[in-house]
Copies of this chain bind each other. A is one copy, B any other.
Amino acid sequence: MKIPPVKGTRDFYPPDMARRNWIIDGWKKVSVRNGFEEYDGPIFEYLKMFQIKSGDEIVEQLFSFKDRGGRHLALRPEITPTLARMVNQQINSLPKPIKWFSVPRLFRAERPQKGRLREFFQWNIDIIGVDDVLADAEVIFTTVDYLRSVGLKQRDVRVKISSRKLLASSLKNVGIQETQLLSLYALLDKYSKMPGDTFKKMLSEQVMDESIAKKVINFMGSTALSEVSEIIGTNAEVEDAIQELARLKELLEQMGVWQYCEFCPGIVRGLAYYTGVVFEVHEFSQELRAICGGGRYDNLLHDFGGPRISATGMGMGDCVLGILLDERGLFKPESKELDYFVAFVDEVYRQNVIELTMKLRSAGFVTNFSYKAVKLSKQLKEASAQNAKRCIIIGEEFKSNQLVIKDMATGKQELVDYDKFLSELKS
């Protein structure tokens, strides 16, 4: 009986697994060197946990089920609710600031499309307990540190930065009501994804006053902080938001990554829970979806029953990143390689081959031997096919306690004493 894999999932054959590991190991290494500690939670949580942050509409995008005890559970579509739950559970004993990262496997019951699968990995970094925009800068630095480490250059990626404070204060300053903001964000978030005319038409449905609508459109198209106050006028709140972003720029310059960044007031991020700096990283030509996004979310822990404590973070999936790395030829997964291949000249030495192979493995060396009792030339071919660095040949010389070690790159052979070789293995 043949059964196919489920649509939107992936099989990781060894070459695919090597690529997946290469991405994830890179995320982990960059996280650790930037001072983040790894955590993880369960694959499934109570369904209602995902509704707190993202509302009821998220339920449509979840794989949910009831367990035998009648509990409504769901596969996690993101890790932030779990992070909030875990931090709240130990809020008093965890030393602050909390700098944590995770590489959860996540699930979304959506129609699979380019860069969007039903099952994927996502790198998450979060700093909890630091009000200062320095933490936002550090999150952005860590993001760029990773992108740079895999070989992406300024010409490949742009970090587009804005702030919810700037957005809210600017919109209010041109005459948008506070109560209108959330529904307007949902539209603004699609600004760069639709033709200008369509956007204009949809905006006019929410903002009747043409002169206000025009200011909103100009604001969304601006690319420099200096333009903002010209377009929408200014007040103390707008000024505050601009000051904060100016300080962020200064920090990113000190950190040596501002050249990857630009202000883009129209960056909204879909989720309602952001409260401060927000950013997205896009491939330069903007043909792909965002590579990652993040920002400050100072109310979330409180929404999950914890104290009011500030937080900022970033999430990067493996799908869009994988497409980009492929397009740029930047994947460099580790290729399979053997430290030793152990071969025999005559079958009488086969048990010695097995014995030595296992000794080498236990000493930490990646070692293989042939399952078949074939001629030496065939064994050497097998060694080459498996990318062996050295081949140990057990033959006549073994009677006088000696091994032949062949360097597979140079072809050079040397004779070594078996006991000496073994005692060196141990040290």
Contact = CB atoms under 8 A, between A and B. Distances in A.
A257 B130 CA distance: 54
Contacts of A303: 1
A86 B39 contact: no
A73 B4 CA distance: 12
A215 interface: no
A2 interface: yes
B32 A366 contact: yes
B145 A362 contact: yes
Given A33-B364, A37-B336, A63 B44 contact: yes
Contacts of A10: 42
Contacts of A354: 134, 251, 254-255
Contacts of A145: 358, 361-362
Contacts of A55: none
A35 interface: yes
Contacts of A107: 43
Interface in A2-20: 2-7, 9-14, 17-18, 20
Given A43-B43, A355-B255, A366-B35, A67 B14 contact: no
Given A4-B46, A33-B361, A33-B367, 16 more contacts: A1-B304, A2-B88, A2-B305, A3-B48, A3-B304, A5-B41, A7-B69, A9-B43, A11-B41, A11-B89, A12-B40, A14-B100, A20-B40, A35-B367, A44-B63, A148-B362
Interface of A: 1-7, 9-14, 17-18, 20-21, 29, 32-35, 37-46, 48-49, 52, 63-65, 67-69, 71, 73, 75, 82, 85-86, 88-90, 97, 100, 105, 107, 109, 119, 130, 132, 134-135, 141, 145, 148-149, 251, 254-257, 303-305, 336, 338, 351, 354-355, 358-359, 361-362, 364-368, 371
